[in-house]
Amino acid sequence: MFIKLWKVYLKFFIAFFFIDWFLGVARFYWPPFGTIFTVVNYPFSTLFLWLEGKNNLWWYSVFGRRLDFLLNDEIGMVIAFFLMVLLQSILLASIYLLFKTWRRNKRASSTA
């Protein structure tokens, strides 16, 4: 069961990674892609877009100056991007598997 779940999750993660990467780059060149990016990643895009507006000083105030060689606003955005894709993939894979289970149970109960 876990291997099947892992395969479904990886398919969603890979697909969303490339879709989000494309939309994330394209939104700087054509504004409608910004709206599409926000809609596709809805629950988690709001946090990502909020973090995008933060500068180095904000990151230093949150994580401290001792991490300034490891974490700045660019590296923070890469981490936030991966977290957004990871969480969005978990959400959509869960919804997909729940719908698939519901449909299978509905089909089994209708034939019984």
Per the CB < 8 A criterion, the answer to whether 24 and 37 are in contact is yes
Average pLDDT, the chain: 83
Residue 22 is predicted with a pLDDT of: 92
Residue 104 is predicted with a pLDDT of: 83
Task: Dump pLDDT digits (tens) for 67-107.
Answer: 666 777 777 788 888 988 999 988 888 888 889 888 888 88
Mean pLDDT of 52-59: 77
Whether the pLDDT of residue 47 is over 90: the answer is no
Three-state DSSP class for residue 64:
coil
pTM for this prediction? 0.76
Helix axis angle, 31-40 to 42-52, nearest 10°: 130
